[in-house]
Structure 1
Amino acid sequence: MSQREYQVTGMTCGHCELSVREEVEQVAGVADIRVSATAGTLTISAPADLDDAGVLAAVEEAGYSAARV
């Protein structure tokens, strides 16, 4: 497992964090999800071969945009 960090734009509150968490936790292989609306970050643990596209799509499904840092 490796740790990955993403910059998420548009989050403003705890509900935003929950929405992102709920979508990202559905991505196979993702574990240890930490979301911070204040910092605008999403940090996950995932296998080295996990495709970022699934994580980014999950964030978009929650209504936000993200980019890997």
Structure 2
Amino acid sequence: MYKTVGIGYHPKASDMAAAIEHAANELAAQGHRVVSFSVKGSAKAIVLAEKESDDAHLEEDINHE
């Protein structure tokens, strides 16, 4: 099972890196493994993660706006 997380506007690279790291750590705590991420020209990012186990159940949404 895959999950995507949108990262809000962060014009500084260090702030964007911290936001992506925070999202990756939260996803890992929920049993996901980050597969990929993409930083868009609008200073926003999308993180793609995969569920590490076969336990498919609803997770709390992660909000990084």
TM-score, normalised with respect to structure 1? 0.53
2:45 paired with 1:41: yes
State the secondary structure of the residue aligned to 2:25. Answer: coil
Over 2 Å off, 4+ runs:
46-50
Q: What is the percent sequence identity of the aligned residues?
A: 11
Equivalent pair of 2:33/2:49 in contact (CA under 8 Å)? yes
RMSD: 2.5
Q: 2:60 aligns with which of 46, 51, 63?
A: 51
2:32 paired with 1:30: yes
Considering only CA atoms, is the larger Rg found in Structure 1 or Structure 2? 2
For this pair of structures, how many residues does the alignment match?
Answer: 55
Cα distance per residue 1:3-39 (max 9 Å; x no partner): 3142512x11321221112211221123225251534
